[in-house]
Chain A
Amino acid sequence: MFTELNSILNTSPESFTPGEFILLSDRQSDASFLIHHFLSFYLKARCKVCFVALVQSFSHYHAVSQRLGVSLTQAKEKGQLIFLEGLKESLSVFLPQEENPDHQAMSFLRDPAAGLRSLYEFVQSSVVGSSGGGGASAEQWGPPVLLMDDVSVLLSLGVRVGAVLDFSHYCRTTVCSQLQGDVVMLVRCDGEAEEDYADDEGSEQLMRGLTHQSCLTLHVQGLPTGYCRDIHGQVEFCWKKRQSDGQHAPKKVFQFKVHDKGVSFFARGTSRAVL
């Protein structure tokens, strides 16, 4: 959890706006540090987290989270974190060893054209379980949160853009509207931004579709002037709704630098290397 980011977003683990769909995106850069932030943020806020991790292994996230002061294994044991390790689960789709209902989540790999309904059903069963009220020994967790890292990899697995947008719509319906939880998704783009609708660039259309669905977007890019050792890039924050205090500040841009145990954010031109 990065404290500077919390102050920019005006949130804290003790108080954050429920029912938000936050979109993290990057273009020719790497926004995965934001996933680590939100993962540790929501775990510290005592929310029930369902993490669909399609690009990295559990040990990767565990190692980074430990540096941020959160233990994923503990959270998993306590039942606070439900972790879908996409890389591992995908093997079991192609080499089924035993009949395990949990493995249905990645069944879209067999038939990508059919859509992501099974993945949605996995998400639904994970998040609904928390508010259902377990036994006496189950701890009461806060609102459910869905994290996805990352959504654009689904396109390269053969899923259509429309199917991914349907999936994100259903996640929003269940997690944000019904259960007043948050959804955080990461989408990545390779090429240059295209103004017009382009048929072949699926990730651009996916990013636009998700931007329409989200209420807060954080867009990570490299610096327009090129590589810099002390400034690793810039983040553009876009709020769609008016803030609760009536202020309408739709866009803000900050620069950042990734350190070993955190990320520092600063206004443009105020990097320590410059001042």
Chain B
Amino acid sequence: MLGNVRSFTMLSELLQGTDVGGFLLIQDSCSYSGRHLLKSFIDAALNREEVVHVLGLDVSEEELKEGLKSLVFQRLHFHDAYADPLGWTDNSPFTVHQFSSWRLAELLKQTAQSKPATLVIDSLSWVLRHISPTAVCHTLQQLKKGGAVRTIIGLLHEDMHSRGIVGSVCRLATSVITVEPGSKGEEALAKITKRSKLGKVTQDEQIFSIRKDLTVTVLSKPTDPGHKQSTTEEQVDPTANLTFNLRLTDAEREAKEKLALPFVFSKEKKTALLHSGPGSGKILYEPDASDDYDQEDPDDDLDV
């Protein structure tokens, strides 16, 4: 049992749904869709015999229900805001302008249930495109406190809004999971921030993958100490296994170190250049009356 307790990660804790009265936000981007994880959360809630209401704007009912087991569909209520969210046809089941706390509470009351339901919003980005962020945040806050809803789970496409709007919605959430593509095909990276009621914030990063039956497998943390051992490789000797000899004997190494490089100025070289030896030409200079002859060496202050 102790072994099991140790392997509980933040992601699996959130999937257990112990966070009552909270608002879980899943953030995704173009490079990796957060809807698979959203469906896993819906699946986990349905398996716990909870009632789930989905406000569907981004995808159709069929697409959302794909992969979920049909046995639990009686507890899953899909409110179709996908078909006509702006009221362009005459009979729209739900328009985006009806997104308000009292209207949503009404929707939830339509299906008689004994306990508060989980409300899933897919996606908040659709709502934010038409409703002001202040109104959306207000509605979410009222729903959290109202008591009609047990938990709210929302999907947000963070690359579709300015940082201010994303920040405002994240501030309301009790837990935020940002999903990104992982390094290998099936894997994805989840960055989790959890805010407790007392104000304590915990953060974590986990690599996970979702199987076909929507169960989430938490694989490992991105910086796993186990990896470090394999990265210390042996130093490879580049002079080995060649058809020619690149190694130096001791005498050769000595001679190499003694060699004076052509463009490095040493003291000997400088004096040799400035004071030319016997046999080379000498320059005799006799200044005129108008010449300003300075005896000083103009290059004296050079540090060559």
Interface residues, chain A, with chain B CB atoms under 8 Å away? 117, 120-121, 162, 165-166, 169-170, 173, 177, 196-197, 199, 205, 208-209, 211-213, 240, 242, 246, 248-250
Contact = CB atoms under 8 A, between A and B. Distances in A.
Interface stretch (B18-26, B80-88, B113-121, B221-229): B80-88
Interface stretch (B40-48, B100-108, B154-162, B169-177): B154-162
B60 interface: yes
A205 B160 contact: yes
Given A117-B88, A173-B60, A177-B60, A240 B160 contact: no
A240 B28 CA distance: 13
A209 B160 contact: yes
Contact of A211 (B30, B58, B85, B161): B30
Interface in B181-217: 185-186, 212
Q: A-B pairs with the 7 shortest C-beta distances?
A: A211-B30, A177-B60, A162-B129, A208-B30, A208-B159, A197-B162, A212-B157
Interface of B: 30, 33, 58, 60, 62, 82-86, 88, 125, 129-130, 157, 159-163, 185-186, 212
A172 B125 CA distance: 17
A196 B163 contact: yes
A120 B84 CA distance: 12
Which of A120, A121, A173, A213 has the most B CB atoms < 10 Å from its CB?
A173
B85 A197 contact: no
A88 B162 CA distance: 38
Which of B30, B58, B125, B212 has the most A CB atoms < 10 Å from its CB?
B30
Contact of B88 (A120, A196, A246, A249): A120
B159 A246 contact: no
A161 to B, nearest CB: 9
B286 to A, nearest CB: 63
Contacts of A197: 159-163
A227 B88 CA distance: 47
A242 B163 contact: no
B185 A250 contact: yes
Contact of B212 (A169, A170, A212, A242): A242
15 contacts: A162-B129, A162-B130, A166-B86, A166-B129, A173-B60, A173-B82, A177-B62, A177-B83, A208-B30, A211-B30, A212-B125, A212-B160, A240-B33, A246-B212, A248-B186
A212 B83 contact: no
A173 B236 CA distance: 60
Which of B33, B58, B62, B212 has the most A CB atoms < 10 Å from its CB?
B33
A199 B86 CA distance: 24
Nearest to A121: B88
A177 B62 CA distance: 9
B162 A199 contact: yes
Contacts of B86: 166, 170
B60 A212 contact: no
Nearest to A173: B83
Which of A117, A121, A169, A249 has the most B CB atoms < 10 Å from its CB?
A169
Which of B130, B159, B185, B212 has the most A CB atoms < 10 Å from its CB?
B159
B160 A249 contact: no
A211 B58 CA distance: 12
A240 B185 CA distance: 12
Contacts of B163: 196-197
Nearest to A246: B212
Contacts of B185: 248-250
A211 B28 CA distance: 12
A169 B33 CA distance: 17
Contacts of A162: 129-130
A18 to B, nearest CB: 12
Given A169-B85, A196-B163, 20 more contacts: A117-B88, A120-B88, A121-B88, A162-B130, A166-B86, A170-B86, A170-B88, A173-B84, A177-B82, A196-B159, A205-B160, A208-B30, A208-B157, A211-B30, A212-B30, A212-B33, A212-B125, A212-B160, A213-B58, A248-B185
A197 B128 CA distance: 15
A166 B86 CA distance: 8
A240 B34 CA distance: 11
B156 to A, nearest CB: 11
Contacts of B161: 197
A201 to B, nearest CB: 12
B100 to A, nearest CB: 20
B85 A208 contact: no
Contacts of B159: 196-197, 208
A250 B129 CA distance: 28
B140 to A, nearest CB: 21
Contacts of A166: 85-86, 129
Nearest to B33: A240
A130 B196 CA distance: 56
Nearest to A210: B30
B263 to A, nearest CB: 36
